[in-house]
Structure formats: structure tokens, C-alpha cells
Amino acid sequence: MRKIAQFLFLLILCFLFLIPNVSASNRNIFGLHLTQPNDIYSAKDIINSSGGDWGWVTIVIRTDQLNPQVWQEFFDNCRQFHLIPIIRLATLMDQDNWSVPQLSQIDSLTSFLGSLNWPTKLKHVILFNEINHANEWGGQVDVKSFADVAIYTAKKLKELDPDFVVLSSPLDLAAPEKPPFFKSAENVYREIYLYRPEYFDLIDAIASHSYPNHGFVGSPKDHGQHSILGYRWELNYLKSLGVNKTFPVFITETGWPHREGESPNNYFFTATTATKFLKQALDIWSQDENVMATTPFIYNYPYKPFDHFSWLDTKNQLYPPYQEIVNLAKPKNSPLQITTYELTRIHLPFLIFTNHDYSGTVTLKNTGQSIWGETKFCLNPTSSPNLTLDTICLDNSLILPGQQKTFNFKFKVNQTPDKNQTTFIGWHRLPNTEITAFSSNTFIYRPKTNLIFRLKNTLQHLFY
């Protein structure tokens, strides 16, 4: 019996090791941290390379950058290129410090983000950046001030749209405890919890800067708060405080610096080593079901102070070793998108006889987030029982949000309805178009909608 038990135990172990990691194979965590919206045109082919789809982009929006044309174009590009944006909120530089956001600025930022047509149903927003550095919060670390602003911002976003996914402010996990200029991540989390614990109720996920510290020279095999697994320390520490909530993790900054760059440096890693380490790290993160995304810092910043982290050189060329990341096989994400439409015009014959086949057209406007035609777009009829009506389906074209498409359809009134029955044409989630008889015992019908308009057009065609 003991030998049989040992055999079964070994068999189970072998089976477990042979099972593929489901979360890793069905989840694309790869993305990049962009400097500006136009970076998307070259970054898209890197992020979604080698089979990947719907990867991630992190980008900063400042309070002086609320140009709807620029950001709607960026979101439209994310939609077309299949990229999920993560937007980090920022204010303005005041000398050497980022100014503390005013509530009026929060109102403008949140309203602006709520006014845009995002590419996906879930809208990811980060609450500022490394607020345990004085220069990130008006010149001195002020945890209470940050907590107040963060809670106000999170509530504003959720009031605008419950689909906003609010990410915590990422902290510098290696910062020392040297107030008022630095505060350790441990003390920041503790002070927030003691002052306003509802902060952790309002955030939906942790944004983490899990760098290989100290000095960005750690190994991908390191563990602990100052490693690429720093987010695990964050999750465990929050639980120890009493935060009984499971947070997904978005690693919005990480990576290794390299020697290549314009400014003097003390880094002893080449781009080849940085790439090697990042490949190992991506393999580790992709096997952790808590990690939703990772966007290494930074794609295109070939000048001081971030030239040694930049993936592109001053000629906008990718440092060759990073091609290994491009070549890595990547899974496909399938984010939820809202599909909505509105009827802008329907054309029917002026006279309709029962038991005759007729043709009509209906024009619909894409008012949602999805691109019609990337997946099947068909609307089933919801017409009255005495009317036969086609399902309308999109052909091989692609219809972007804001665009319109005219569909042809056929219909037939099968019988004369009784006086209590309404005859109408309609499709799923569209208003019905009623067809009315000229009299109670006639076999001739007309569209009820826009009758005067139709008569006017008919007379114009007859006499002019």
C-alpha cells in the first residue's frame, strides 16, 4: 500500500507540473510607460508584438494638458491599436516640486476624463505619484493632505462613472524615513490607515513601482520590499494593518538602467543585461495572478534624467537588445467594451400593402467604445408578430465610434391587424417605427413617423 501511495503522490506531482499556468497563458501583462501621446505610433508594434493583443500603456496627464482633441485622439488610437490606457494624474511643476493639487483642479481633471470616449469599459486612473517624496507633493511629504485629496478624487471619479478603476499612488518602496523630504512606504501606508482608512475602500487596485533596488542594480531573483516583488510586500503589509481586501496589482514603473545614454553615468549594466533581467522579471510577474499589467519605465526619454532607462535613443531607434522583448510571445487580452448605437434615419416605402415584400434602409450611428466589424455586429428584429423583418448585420467594413452606417433590410406585413394591434418595425435596443393602416378595413399602410416630411418631399420631387 505504501508503494502505491508513493506512486500516486508522484503521479499527482508530475500532473501538476505539466499543467500550464492558466493565468499566465490567458493574460497579457505587457505594456510600456509612454512619455507623450504620440509615442503610441511606434510603441504599438512593440507592445502587441509576437501574438499579443490589448497590451497596456501608462501615460501622465497634467492639469495644463486638458486638450480634448489631443486626448480623444490618443484614446481613439488606443482603440484602433488595441491598447489599454492607464492614466496617471499630475499637476504642474513649481520650481523643483510638483504642486499639491487643488480641489478645483481635481474637478477639472475628473470631469475632463469623464467626458472622453475611452477605448474600454474599465477606465484605469492612478492617484498621482510617489507622494513619499517631497518634490512630488509641493516640497514636503504630507500624508494627511494626500489622503484627503486622494479620497476626494476617487469619489469624484466614481460619481462620474463606476467603471473608473482607481489605482493607489505608487510609492518609492526604497525611500528612507527622513521627514519632511522622504517617508518610508511602511509609514505612509500606516499613517493613511490610521488617518483615513476609507482610502483603501475607495481604491480598486495597487499601482506599484517594484524596482530592483537599492540603486536599480538588484537581481530579478531577489525578494522583499526593495525587489521586483516589492508589490508582494505591499499586499502583505496592508493585510497586517487590517486592510481586508484583495487588490490586483499594476506595476506601472520598473526596469533596469543601462550604460547607453547621453549623460555621464555610473551604471554597470549594458542594455543587453537590462533586457536579460527584464525578460526574467516578465516571466516571474506573468505567473503571479495578482499582476494585471507591467509597464516598464520608460519607452522614449533619451535625455537627462532618464536617458539610461529609455528604450529609444536620440534617433528614435530601439536599442537592439530590447528586440528580444519584442520577440517574446505574448497572450491576448479581451477587455470589455461598451457597444451602443442610435438610429439616425429610417427609410420606408410611402405605401405598404400586406403580403408584399418591401425593402428599406436604416442608418445607425456608433455611439459606443467598440469598433463594429472587429467582432460580429448584428441586430435581431423586435418587430410586431404580424410583420416579418430581416436581421441586420454589418458587412466587412469597420465602423468607428462617431461614424454612421446604412443597412439594407427587407420586410413584409403578413396580415391585417385587428384594431387593437400595433404594427411596427424595430430591432434590439432601437426605437420602434410604427406602421398604421389608412382605415380599419384596408390592406394599405404607411409609416407613421415623419408623414408630413415625407409628403413634402414627395411633392417637391413631383413639381420641381
Whether residue 347 is predicted with pLDDT greater than 80 in this model: the reply is yes
Whether 334 is in a domain gets the answer: no
Can you give the residue range of the structural domain that contains 381?
Answer: 341-463
Whether 298 is in a domain gets the answer: yes
As a whole number, mean pLDDT of residues 429-446 equals 83
Same-domain check for residues 285 and 356: no
As a whole number, mean pLDDT of residues 345-359 equals 94
Confidence of residue 320 (pLDDT cuts 50, 70, 90): very high
Position with higher pLDDT, 285 vs 454: 285
E strand or H helix at 45? helix 40-47
pLDDT in tens, 65-102: 999 999 999 999 999 999 999 999 999 999 999 999 99
Question: What is the secondary structure of 73-94 as a DSSP string?
Answer: HHHHHHHHHTEEEEEEEE--EE
Confidence of residue 25 (pLDDT cuts 50, 70, 90): very low
Whether 90 is in a domain gets the answer: yes
Give the pLDDT score at 368. 97
Whether 252 is in a domain gets the answer: yes
Give the pLDDT score at 451. 43
Same-domain check for residues 300 and 368: no
Q: How far is CA 399 from the centre of its chain?
A: 20
Instruction: Tell me the Cα Rg of the chain.
Output: 29
Q: What residues pair up with 372 in beta bridges, in sequence order?
A: 375, 399
As a whole number, mean pLDDT of residues 211-232 equals 96
As a whole number, mean pLDDT of residues 52-69 equals 98
Whether residue 13 is predicted with pLDDT greater than 90 in this model: the reply is no
Whether residue 234 is predicted with pLDDT greater than 70 in this model: the reply is yes
Give the pLDDT score at 14. 39
Whether residue 263 is predicted with pLDDT greater than 90 in this model: the reply is no
Give the pLDDT score at 441. 65
Task: Quickly tell me which residue has 510603441 as its cell.
Answer: 43
Confidence of residue 417 (pLDDT cuts 50, 70, 90): low
Whether residue 318 is predicted with pLDDT greater than 80 in this model: the reply is yes
Is the peptide bond preceding residue 214 cis, with omega within 30 degrees of 0? yes
160/156 Cα distance (integer angstroms): 6
Same-domain check for residues 317 and 386: no
Helix residue ranges per DSSP H, 120-171:
143-160
As a whole number, mean pLDDT of residues 141-163 equals 98
Position with higher pLDDT, 145 vs 350: 145
Same-domain check for residues 290 and 347: no
Confidence of residue 463 (pLDDT cuts 50, 70, 90): very low
Total domains in the chain come to 2
Whether 171 is in a domain gets the answer: yes
As a whole number, mean pLDDT of residues 320-343 equals 97
As a whole number, mean pLDDT of residues 376-382 equals 96
Give the pLDDT score at 449. 59
Query: Where is the domain boundary, 278, 301, 327?
Result: 327
Confidence of residue 264 (pLDDT cuts 50, 70, 90): confident
Whether 16 is in a domain gets the answer: no
Task: Write out the three cell numbers for 94.
Answer: 513649481
Q: What are the C-alpha distances in Å from 432 to residues 423, 424, 449?
A: 9, 6, 10
Q: In what order do the strands lie in the sheet with 164-167?
A: 31-33, 55-62, 83-90, 123-126, 164-167
Query: Where is the domain boundary, 300, 327, 354?
Result: 327
When mean pLDDT is compared across 59-73, 82-96, 262-276, 339-353, the lowest value belongs to 262-276
In percent, the amount of the chain with pLDDT more than 70 equals: 89
Give the pLDDT score at 437. 82
**Which domain CATH number covers 219?**
3.20.20.80
Contact of 45 with 18, CB cutoff 8 Å: no
Same-domain check for residues 372 and 286: no
**Which domain CATH number covers 433?**
2.60.40
Task: Write out the three cell numbers for 312.
Answer: 529609444
Confidence of residue 19 (pLDDT cuts 50, 70, 90): very low
Whether 11 is in a domain gets the answer: no
pLDDT in tens, 189-206: 999 999 999 999 999 999
E strand or H helix at 435? strand 433-437
Same-domain check for residues 314 and 361: no
Same-domain check for residues 303 and 377: no
As a whole number, mean pLDDT of residues 259-283 equals 90
Judge if pTM exceeds 0.85. yes
Whether residue 18 is predicted with pLDDT greater than 50 in this model: the reply is no
Whether 3 is in a domain gets the answer: no
Same-domain check for residues 289 and 361: no
Same-domain check for residues 372 and 446: yes
Q: How many CA atoms lie within 13 A of 317 on its CB side?
A: 6
Whether residue 344 is predicted with pLDDT greater than 80 in this model: the reply is yes
pLDDT in tens, 105-149: 999 999 999 999 999 999 999 999 999 999 999 999 999 999 999
Same-domain check for residues 71 and 182: yes
As a whole number, mean pLDDT of residues 320-347 equals 97
Same-domain check for residues 313 and 349: no
47 CB-near residues (< 8 Å, 6+ apart): 30, 31, 32, 55, 56, 57, 83
As a whole number, mean pLDDT of residues 143-161 equals 98
Whether residue 364 is predicted with pLDDT greater than 90 in this model: the reply is yes
Nearest Cα residue to 207 out of 312, 127, 263? 127
Query: Where is the domain boundary, 279, 296, 327?
Result: 327
Same-domain check for residues 157 and 205: yes
